[in-house]
Amino acid sequence: MTSPTPLSQRLSERLARQREQGLWRQRPLTTRPQSVSTQINGLATLNFASNDYLGLANHPAIKDAARQALNNNSNSVGSGAAHLISGHHLSHHLLEDELADWLGVERTLLFSTGYMANLAVQQVLTEKGDRIVADKLNHASLLDGARLSAAELKRYAHADMTALSRRLQQAQQAGQQAMVVTDGVFSMDGDLAPLAEIQALCQTYQAWLFVDDAHGFGVLGDQGRGSFDHLGLTPDANTVQVGTLGKAFGTAGAFVAGSSHVIEALIQLARPYIYTTASSPVIAEASRAALKQVRNDAARRQRLHHNIRHFRQQARAMQLPLMPSHTPIQPLLIGDNARTMALADCLKAAGFWVGAIRPPTVPKGSARLRITLSADHTPAQIDRLIDTLAKTCTLQEAAQKTAQGTES
């Protein structure tokens, strides 16, 4: 019998491996409002790492809605309980109705986070004997939701419709109910799922479709209605969507959109919903104001897409290793963990905050700089970033070649 291992020893060994593999993570400390110009770790910086795509997190109308909610005697800061106990406030109810009207679905249901929503949907809608068929680059919350469900999980190569068709055919032959699970916009690559082809395959094989459009809602489509609208598609009765309020909406929380049967099943059966305190009514009121901005401020969305086009044009001119994306997520593929961190550190020293993404968030060997754009970035700020990136990448490549020559 082996002797018990002290907890500190086990964790020390795991943490040491994180450092050795170049995977150590630290929490940056922000000390000013969320904006394209902010202060992180005491440094004044241009922020190219935020998911605040429309620049709404610090929008005056949304902050004013939160203040009014606090001053309203019918509201409190906290909800006080879970939705099914006494925490479902009028503000939550109105927000759900307005989100459903915006998307043209029967109902929506609020969750405290997108992670919880993705856990809930797959656990409730699938049963033992079903099959979840998931894109290999799905967000971690989708993968965890599938693993925690009773269904069998099978994955297919990213956006490979031949592989998806084969998986669905196998499920049909085995007599399994299949549910296809995919991001709408992939959070680390920035590309769109081929939803037209996926929807057609689902209809051919009578599969259900679950789309996490956290990075599509607010950004794509008429009135920001997301990836389906952007591609000229309409979700059918067997489609469920998840969106978050903490990205383009600039607030916090998430929602599930679908049929009345889906929403009622989640209310009755979803453990992440039943056993969680409802989010703040103040945040719900701020989100209602954010939804008005998302729906009505088309000029803000146009500025964002102009910035995306401008960034890509300038990056291509500088021959930067840009991945194919026409969304605010613009990854530069570096590959090596240490080099990715070194590049991010050089950018920070120059006044730019850019996300350095490493495994397991992305596959091994595909570490990258994840640059995200906002409607509030100016072309001049983007040009400064591109110029600094070009110089930094060139210097890093020269240093790497020198080091290799010294070793040989």
Name residues whose C-beta falls within 8 Å of residue 357's C-beta, 6 or more positions apart in sequence.
188, 331, 340, 367, 368, 369, 370
CA distance 102 to 115: 22
Question: What angle (nearest 5°) sits at the alpha carbon of residue 331, between those of residues 329 and 333?
Answer: 170
What is residue 23's predicted lDDT score, i.e. its pLDDT? 82
What average pLDDT does the segment 118-141 reach? 97
What average pLDDT does the segment 83-106 reach? 97
- pLDDT at 20 > cutoff 50: yes
What average pLDDT does the segment 135-154 reach? 97
Cα–Cα nearest to 310, from 248, 383, 226: 383
Cα-Cα-Cα-Cα dihedral of 319, 320, 325, 331, to 10°?
Answer: 180
Question: Among 142-146, 254-258, 339-343, which is the least confidently predicted range?
Answer: 339-343
Question: How is the chain split into domains, by residue range?
Answer: 28-54+298-407, 60-296
Active site residues: 187, 215, 247
What is residue 394's predicted lDDT score, i.e. its pLDDT? 63
> Does residue 104 sit in helix, strand or coil?
coil
Longest distance between any two alpha carbons in the chain, whole Å: 73
Residue 21 banded pLDDT, cuts 50, 70, 90 = confident
Cα–Cα nearest to 242, from 194, 182, 154: 182
What is residue 407's predicted lDDT score, i.e. its pLDDT? 47
- pLDDT at 74 > cutoff 90: no
**pLDDT tens, 372-381?**
999 999 999 9
- pLDDT at 408 > cutoff 60: no
Cα within 13 Å of Cα(338), Cβ side: 6
Residue 220 banded pLDDT, cuts 50, 70, 90 = very high
Contact in structure between 138 and 182 (CB atoms under 8 Å) = yes
- Give buried/exposed letters for 39-61 (b at 16+ CB in 10 A, else e): bbeeeebbbbbbbbbbbbbbbee
CATH topology for 60-296 is: Aspartate Aminotransferase; domain 2 (3.40.640)
What average pLDDT does the segment 393-401 reach? 56
CA distance 63 to 69: 10
Cα–Cα nearest to 277, from 86, 145, 49, 114: 86
What average pLDDT does the segment 229-239 reach? 97
Tell me the average pLDDT of the chain: 93
Name residues whose C-beta falls within 8 Å of residue 265's C-beta, 6 or more positions apart in sequence.
124, 125
Give the CATH number of domain 28-54+298-407; options: 3.20.20.140, 3.40.640.10, 3.90.1150.10, 3.40.930.10.
Answer: 3.90.1150.10
- pLDDT at 405 > cutoff 60: no
- pLDDT at 399 > cutoff 70: no
**pLDDT tens, 268-297?**
999 999 999 999 999 999 999 999 999 999
Beta-carbon count within 10 A of 349 CB: 11
